[in-house]
Amino acid sequence: MKKTRNLTQTVYSAVLDLMLSGRLLPGQKLQFLDLAQKFKVSRTPVNIALSMLAKDGFLRFTPNCGYVVNRLERQEVVSLLAMKETLEQGFLPRAVTNVSEVDLFVVKGHMIECERAAAEKNDVRTLLADLDFHFALLAPTGNLVLLESYRRLCHLLLVGYRLELLSFVDAARMVREHRLIFAALSDRDAETLVQALAAHQFLHDEERRPVSMLATARGETFLGGQHRAETASQSLGVLQ
């Protein structure tokens, strides 16, 4: 039983990595046999892992069709971005209070990696480095539940909305804003840090207007009526 659990977790992590790296795209169907052969395991851990990924909002199961990589609807993205901002804005002051020189070194490393990826015009690597940068900003809180929730939220966005995110990447702007954010964190200036991160646009719409992560304040949140949005929200374990 323990061996099955370990294999299931291995398959779960491997499939998630395939989605995050873009080797599995939104709408793409997953084949049980192909995955079992790829990871050299039986169908049982593959089946359990895919079921877990669906429960966590990364996959969608359709009877007589199977599992496909979930594609987020626009309103689901707005909801997830609002949740992302709530976590960032709520916990950044604590991160500033606790940040150490080691923490700053880690954040700076991710900032430099993002700049390198941007310079090489590697948008996939740029997005992944941006995710690591944001995660490192909150790491000094020491709140493991928060960090896991935040990481999963960002992964849901990257997996389910990756094609749109890639088309909206403004690498030069991202680099500039990262430097402002890092400077505020280095100065232990919580107010400026919160403001800088609020201005840091994670996503733009088709007309390149900012999609505010404060949409809830304008009554634009879409939380009801869609199973995938509810599944994603529940799977995050967001602190209420």
Q: Residue 43 sits in a domain of what CATH number?
A: 1.10.10.10
Token digits of residue 136: 């490192």
User: Residue 209: which domain range?
Assistant: 74-236
Which amino acid, residue 207? E
Domain count, the chain: 2
Same domain, 142 and 219: yes
Query: CA separation (Å) from 47 to 13, 38, 71, 75, 191?
Result: 14, 14, 20, 29, 47
Q: What is the pLDDT of residues 128-173, one digit of tens each?
A: 899 899 999 999 999 999 999 999 999 999 898 877 777 767 888 8
Is 153 in a helix, a strand, or coil? helix
DSSP H or E segment with residue 123 = helix 123-138
Query: Structure tokens of 157?
Result: 């966005």
Residue 67 forms beta bridges with which residues? 61
Q: Are residues 97 and 215 in the same domain?
A: yes
Same domain? For 86 and 177 the reply is: yes
Q: Are 203 and 117 in the same domain? A: yes
Tell whether 103 and 144 lie within a shared domain. yes
Residues of the chain under the 50 pLDDT cut: 203-240
* CA dist., res. 62 & res. 148, Å (int): 28
Q: 93 with 201, same domain?
A: yes
- Distance, in Å, from the CA atom of 50 to the CA atom of 223, rounded to the nearest integer, reads 24
pTM of the prediction? 0.77
Q: Residues 163, 86: one domain? A: yes
Q: Both 48 and 29 in a single domain?
A: yes
Question: What percent of the chain stands above pLDDT 90?
Answer: 46
Reference 140, options 96, 172, 187; nearest CA is 96
